[in-house]
Amino acid sequence: MGDFTMASVVPCPPPQSQSTMLTTLWLLLSFAVPLPGFYVSFSCPNEKQCQRALLSDNDVFLPCNSSGSQWYFFLQDGTSWSHTLSSASNIEIIPDSGVLIQSPLPSQTGFYHCQDKDGLQVVQYEIDFQDVSTLHITHKGLGQKPLRNESLSLGGKGIVFTRWEPWQDCNRCGGLGERKRLGYCYIEEPLQEPMPCWLYLGGRKVWSSRMRPEMQVDACHVPCTALTSDYVPFDNFEITEESGSVWLTCPLGSVYR
Ligand SMILES: *[C@@H]1O[C@H](CO)[C@@H](O)[C@H](O)[C@H]1NC(C)=O
Ligand SMILES: *[C@@H]1O[C@H](CO)[C@@H](O)[C@H](O)[C@H]1NC(C)=O
């Protein structure tokens, strides 16, 4: 308890609450039972090495189900990569299952390496936690434009661009809703695979207003079929125009879906 203000997901009233009593009951219940936050979990398709950009401040689970496995973290620390054996307070190793990172910080960008009990690599995640507080939000329907490609001012020929994820599900059916997609900052050098910006930079300190993650919002209208009503996510998001901040207002809400 006492940690509710820290949660990135806050409880919302039940869908059909009409009486204050119900609302009160819901509030009591939601404080009595810790709500499981939704966190994104992804596995590595090739089981060896995965590079991913994600958002800071949103919980993530990195699986490694080898029994007796050990984790090593190589985090970006100041100007170099450091080897951190003791985990930070927001990193929880769940034995034989994986590692849960709650509210990851941009400075926790780095390599998360899981070894089996014989010291062989099971999986290595290279995660770029892009600073959610710099999220550039645009509404497609209002004609707002996402960030443009820019060349990187490092003397090289790198291009900073946004790599977009697919559009997520519409947050409503049978009426006007909204859908969103996330985009991450990537840097591409000629003839090379693009890399997430801060994994590319390593310890180098480069500041550019172009280097930030993005979110695009668009209107959507989907019919309520038996199928869609099954998976239309029970979450909602709200954008504050002044601060540009985003709030997800349901227990199982997540910026990732
Ligand atoms: C571990 O995960 C892999 C891939 O998800 C799966 O194929 C394997 O059966 C799992 N092993 C155990 C012990 O759960
Ligand atoms: C921006 O750069 C990316 C990566 O090189 C490229 O795929 C994309 O087409 C570019 N966008 C524009 C508008 O030039």
Distance 250 CA to ligand 2 centre (A): 35
User: What is the set of domains in the chain, with CATH numbers?
Assistant: 3-130 (2.60.40.10), 133-227 (no CATH)
Answer whether 0.85 is exceeded by the pTM: no
Whether ligand 2 lies within 6 angstroms of the CB of 239 is answered as no
**Listed residue (134, 143, 110) closest to 208, CA to CA:** 134
Ligand 1 mutation target, pool 42, 44, 46, 65, most atoms within 8 A of CB: 65
**Listed residue (151, 14, 6) closest to 89, CA to CA:** 6
Whether ligand 2 lies within 6 angstroms of the CB of 131 is answered as no
Nearest residue (CA) to ligand 1, atom 6: 65
Confidence (pLDDT) at 73 = 85
Cβ pair 126, 50 in contact under 8 A: yes
Nearest residue (CA) to ligand 2, atom 5: 188
Q: How would you class 79 by CB atoms within 10 Å of its CB: exposed for 0-12, middle for 13-18, buried for 19 or more?
A: exposed
Please list the pLDDT of the chain residue by residue as tens digits (257 residues). 333 323 333 333 333 334 443 343 333 333 333 334 556 777 776 568 899 999 999 999 999 988 888 888 888 765 455 666 565 788 888 888 899 998 999 999 999 989 888 988 999 999 999 999 999 999 998 899 999 999 987 667 889 999 999 999 888 889 998 999 999 999 999 999 999 999 999 878 788 899 999 999 999 999 987 665 444 454 566 666 666 666 655 656 678 87
- The phi-psi region of residue 103 (left if phi > 0; otherwise alpha if psi is between -120 and 50; otherwise beta) is left
Which atom number of ligand 2 is nearest to the Cα of residue 149? 1
Q: Nearest-5° angle of CA 103, CA 25, CA 232?
A: 55
Confidence (pLDDT) at 45 = 67
Cβ pair 140, 217 in contact under 8 A: yes
Whether ligand 1 lies within 6 angstroms of the CB of 144 is answered as no
Confidence (pLDDT) at 81 = 57
Write phi, then psi, for 63 (nearest 5 degrees).
-75, 145
Whether ligand 1 lies within 6 angstroms of the CB of 66 is answered as no
